Amino acid sequence: NQLILRRYGHCFDDLFFHGVTGDDTNGRCGIFYTKRLLDHFSSVKDEIKAFADATFKYQPSYFHQLFIVHFEIGNYTFPAFYVFMERKTAAAYQSVFELISNLGFNIIELMADFEISIKQAFLAVYPT
């Protein structure tokens, strides 16, 4: 999986593939984002409003889904993180939210579909 993920490693001149989180038990997640885009969120990084959803149509066959996290600036949302996920476990989602948190983004609000594992993972990283 790593070799194929590296195939999509760059977006223009910016690094796009940033590695894998998760583990064999709960599922690995290939994380994609560009620093250039994340720099645009620096003015709101302490109070991020985020939106997340997944699709099951546009991922390589060995991944279960493509999970996309969008950030809001003003009245606009922008896709900030693309995540190929092997499984939809709370631990896998938590590894994604931990990475986002470790990059300095404090999500104060998340809108996502009703999936318990997303909610559990989000609250584990960003308790209310």
Mean pLDDT by 10 residues, the chain (128 residues): 60 76 82 87 88 78 82 91 90 95 94 90 92
pTM of the model: 0.86
CA distance readout (Å), 93 to 11, 19, 36, 40, 107: 24, 15, 24, 24, 14
> Distance (Å, rounded) from C-alpha 119 to C-alpha 75?
24
- Burial (CB < 10 A; 0-12, 13-18, 19+), residue 93, is buried
Domain count, the chain: 1
Per-residue model confidence (pLDDT) at position 36: 85
Please give the residue range of the domain that contains residue 38: 2-125
